[in-house]
Amino acid sequence: MRVLLNGTVLVVLWNHLWFHDLANRSTLAASEDGSGLTQVIFLGLGAAMAAALWRLGPARLRPLATWPLLLCAGWLGTTVLLSIEPSLSIRRAVLMAIALMLSAGVLIVARSPRQFAMTLAGSALVILVASYLAVALVPDLAIHSSFDLNSDPSHPGLWRGIFPHKNEAGAAMVILIICGLYVRATASRFLGWAIVLLAVGFLVASGSKTALLVTPVILAVTALCRVFRGNLARTSLLLGPVVAFSVVSIGSVVVPAIQEKLGALMTDATFTGRNEIWEFAIDNIFIRPFRGWGYGAFWMTERTMYAGSEQLTWVNTANHAHNAYLDTALTMGFPGLAFTLVAFMLMPLRDLQATAGGRDLDPTTLLFVRLWFLGLVSASFETVLYNGNNATCCMFMMAVFGLRLRTAYRPAA
């Protein structure tokens, strides 16, 4: 029952809506109503996980009730009530809360690291086998084509498998590579390497630039964290790339000198048009800098897509800001961004130091560090925070909760 529940949750968190038809014109419309199927799936799984946690004892979640996390949740709730679309924000916040419960619940329900690893392996193989079969059997729904609406000229031919977009497929493959390495170290070398190789092959075929960029960075930095065990060294290794990516991304919009230097070094200093989205997001952040626009109440809404302005461009139809830190400030204001950085960047680092300061990282802690670092680095180019529909967000939150729980419970052998 534990494996079945956790396996279902992991597959849903990685991708719960399979086979998107990108040629369907309905994808161009505002999505304020949300997906009825998504709501049914999350409500059903949320009820099942709540029942499991109640049976095991809700007190096991008590270590997660830290002041930074509570302040972050409290401010999110405040901005939901102050949202420009309160009903929309409340509905999406409920789904996010369920996703957070599922991410934490998986760690409580798993009986041991080995069972957790085997559940990850089974769930990963479901995603990988389904994606490869989709490419082979229904390529029109699994490979980008020139018939996709809002398609980039470089997208046709890139694989997306059962995912709605090649970037989401790439992000999921990075997660599966990390999970495969954990399976190899904890449960089965054969299964672990099989998952890694299959995920690497699909990642290359997806052509996801962000995923291809961050994968070697994540593996290299976390490997160095096993060599340099001092708290200062690990802090520099983990936060240094995050700061660097933020300077390169947002700095290229805010500071002209950085943009000039990037233009001399890179063939695409606009990061595939992201700079226009970042400029649009920054302009709107300063319209409501304190309380923000409200959780999930800005992108893909009628106010943004069909506003009565003469300056409407393709940016108005974007799904998100392609930067989690900008999106957090956009929806929760600067106070929400500050609470987020403390709760999800500084506190997990402190938990890591409390758990493994001066010592090598055991496989489970290393898994959490890799997933947490993946979220922080990816946040500079994709919206991976406060997005319950995003696989990276859910695994990032699982990693944050896992590092916190490691400080409260002794690691199992």
Q: What is the mean pLDDT of residues 213-223?
A: 94
The answer to which of 129-143, 243-257, 381-395 has the lowest mean pLDDT is 243-257
The answer to which of 17-21, 50-54, 147-151, 233-237 has the lowest mean pLDDT is 147-151
Q: Which residues are CB-neighbours of 61 under 8 A, at least 6 positions away?
A: 53, 104, 108
Q: Please state, for a pLDDT cut of 70, what percent of the chain lies above it.
A: 88
What is the span of the domain harbouring residue 165? 112-207
Domain assignment of residue 354, yes or no: yes
Q: 162 and 275, same structural domain?
A: no
How does pLDDT run across 56-74, given as a tens digit for each residue?
A: 999 999 999 999 999 999 9
Q: 254 and 394, same structural domain?
A: yes
**Residue 362 is inside which H or E element, if any?**
none
Q: Is 369 helix (H, G, I), strand (E, B) or coil?
A: helix
Report residue 357's pLDDT band, with 50, 70 and 90 as the boundaries.
confident
Read off the amino acid at residue 66: T
Q: What is the pLDDT of residue 137?
A: 93
CA dist 99 and 147 (Å) reads 33
Q: 393 and 251, same structural domain?
A: yes
Q: 232 and 189, same structural domain?
A: no
Q: 401 and 265, same structural domain?
A: yes
Which of 412 and 314 is assigned the larger pLDDT? 314
- Best-predicted range by mean pLDDT (21-30, 157-166, 273-282): 157-166
DSSP 8-state code for residue 150: T
CA dist 98 and 117 (Å) reads 23
Q: What is the pLDDT of residue 39?
A: 85
Domain assignment of residue 42, yes or no: no
Q: 334 and 263, same structural domain?
A: yes
Q: Which residues are CB-neighbours of 270 under 8 A, at least 6 positions away?
A: 276
Q: Which residues are CB-neighbours of 234 under 8 A, at least 6 positions away?
A: 225, 228, 349, 352, 353
Report residue 410's pLDDT band, with 50, 70 and 90 as the boundaries.
low
Find, among 178, 127, 215, 207, the residue nearest to 366 by Cα: 178
Q: 233 and 268, same structural domain?
A: yes
The answer to which of 323-332, 368-377, 380-389, 392-401 has the lowest mean pLDDT is 380-389
Q: What is the pLDDT of residue 330?
A: 92
Answer whether residue 193 shows pLDDT above 90: yes
Alpha-carbon distances of 296 from 41, 89, 123, 205, 263, rounded to whole Å: 19, 6, 29, 31, 33
Domain assignment of residue 367, yes or no: yes
Report residue 216's pLDDT band, with 50, 70 and 90 as the boundaries.
very high
Q: 304 and 176, same structural domain?
A: no
Q: What is the pLDDT of residue 358?
A: 81
Report residue 131's pLDDT band, with 50, 70 and 90 as the boundaries.
very high
How does pLDDT run across 241-250, given as a tens digit for each residue?
A: 999 988 888 8
Domain assignment of residue 172, yes or no: yes
Domain assignment of residue 43, yes or no: no
Report residue 31's pLDDT band, with 50, 70 and 90 as the boundaries.
low
Rounded mean pLDDT of the chain?
A: 87
Q: Please spell the DSSP secondary structure of 290-347, one letter per residue.
A: TT-S-TT-STTSHHHHS-S-TT--GGGG-SS-S-HHHHHHHHHHHHHHHHHHIIIIIH
Q: What is the mean pLDDT of residues 321-350?
A: 93
Q: Which of 176, 207, 238 is the last residue of a domain?
A: 207
How does pLDDT run across 79-107, given as a tens digit for each residue?
A: 999 998 888 899 889 999 999 999 999 99
Q: What is the mean pLDDT of residues 182-193?
A: 95
Domain assignment of residue 28, yes or no: no
